[in-house]
Amino acid sequence: MDWCRYRFRSRWDLDAPPAAVYAVLADWERYPRWWRQVREVSRVDDRTGTARVRSFAPYDLRVTSTRLREDPAAGVLQAAVSGDVEGWARWTVLPHGTGTRAVFDQEVVARKPLLRRLAVPGRLVFRANHALMMRAGLRGLRARLAGTAAGPEAV
């Protein structure tokens, strides 16, 4: 088993139309406005950006994301990820009941030396850190879709 490899899946049920959810998730430059753990985002070009993220664990992750697929009709946003973690991440936005289900899938390998050194003893902490970040993202997105403040700036 490669202890530095992670596979994540989160499902977010939202009381908003799929097109509205997709539009917010596609606007990655504004994630810091509604997702506190996404501390900084900088555009490199039309398909690439860098981000600094941090949840409760005392370390930052710095990543570069390059869009691989942006398909509003299918509800898919997918990006290659490199930097402190390397792999891919994908949002799939689907109608669900009277609202939307947004599914986040990610497969990455830790490249940051600290994460690699602590891969075995820290694995549960790293997974919990990710789960807390995703839970906060869901709260922030719900607030953003409702038009309320959800972070350092009002939305």
Residue-level length of the chain: 155
Q: What is the mean pLDDT of residues 83-102?
A: 98
SS3 72: coil
3-state SS record for 25-44: HHCHHHHHHHCCCEEEEEEC
Look at residue 152 in the predicted model and tell me its pLDDT.
46
Q: What is the mean pLDDT of residues 133-146?
A: 97
Q: Alpha-carbon Rg of the chain, whole angstroms?
A: 15
> Is pLDDT above 70 for 148?
no
Cα–Cα dist 130/74, whole Å: 26
Contact 115/126 with Cβ under 8 angstroms?
yes
CATH code matching the domain that covers 5-146, chosen among 3.40.50.1370, 3.30.530.20, 1.25.40.10, 2.60.40.420: 3.30.530.20
Q: What is the pLDDT of residues 121-132, one digit of tens each?
A: 999 999 999 999
Q: What is the pLDDT of residues 21-69, one digit of tens each?
A: 999 999 999 999 999 999 999 999 999 999 999 998 888 999 999 999 9
Contact 154/30 with Cβ under 8 angstroms?
no
β-strand partners of 8: 106
Cα–Cα dist 119/130, whole Å: 14
Give the Å distances, CA to CA, from 110 to 34, 52, 105: 26, 15, 16
